[in-house]
Structure 1
């Protein structure tokens, strides 16, 4: 199919775009003139966002997507090609967490791994061949400080895995012109952290980090920067990391009670 438009800025596929970090990132990139392909499960919210950001419909395409479904992932990438002809940037932002330990009465404990780790890997596999052939492109994975200082078994497993995938892939692609960046947020305001009783910045700090690495590629960025100290402490002195996580983050996060099992981040 012949693309319906020729964007002057790179084409960005952004998952988890309907709320939280994804929504604010979509706003930031739209303001900078990027062509966007927005993906999330919530079709009404997604289409409304696309219309708000680009009433003409020439630069932004909404594609309702279940990132855990292979056919849905393929349809997303195909839709980007049909509209814009290529994919220059993939931002893997969609994610979920589990508030309780994965061994609690969770009917599908592996869903966290499918959304947070398998989906980014499979979407990357779909767009990487064209990027390598073209000699340019950028994969941006939204990880977490929990991928360096574990706070929850299943969630941290997915984010540790995503961090390893990001750095390993980046090294595999050295010299190809394709960049890989990992953005690792600490606690920021989102649906996922709605129950956390912690002072935290808004998701715009992550959106700015995404925009920054697209201009100046970096292997890994921790935001807010204060969380870099937690990552270093956890590596240098794991038992002190245990103390900090258990007594400050976890206790305060759940002090209002364990209501509900899943928290979501713009999936």
Structure 2
């Protein structure tokens, strides 16, 4: 049995149901966030709560789910489910009808057992021309990503890198960094500012120069090293793009160093 937090209380996940008239489902109007717990300790929880609140305010629903309520619910789930390594997914869907002046929040938290989760040591990616709507918040709309799922799986890729007008933005579920001549570069525009990305920016200066700037598709293919980062992937070096080797085709030394520094930061 696994418990979740649903609209104000703890419920067995199997007992939860949503109305078939929920406007968040009908219109895809919702936001979420996701963070980790490692050995019973939350990783960067305040940053995730702040970003989730930003997403809530962007939606303009009738009221905001308070951070204290979320923390209390997360602590209770931690005790009730008993996982020491887990993920917490905060979900907020709009509730109401098209005729309502204001829509209400339907809020729930799912906890997943990550005791056996191991990030990939390296991976490949594919490219796709696209820019997400409202990339500054984590919406539930992954329509394009899901349409490309079969292509991604056939290519053996871990993620999809988006670009538009020759400029890279982000991956479908990650942020992107390239390394060229010892300089780290990551896109500045049309991205979700990931929490793991923030940590990488803090430690990358210990290794080399860092630029938050435009990154072209040409820059991407000319990179010595590439890595993507996210809460679940952590730091994932990319050794192949659309079937083309990145640099030597092996994990680069600076990507490896960033991964080590990130792991040290997790233990601070």
Which is richer in helix?
1
Structure possessing the higher radius of gyration over alpha carbons: 2
Which structure has the higher relative contact order (CA within 8 Å, separation 6+)? 1
Which is richer in strand?
2
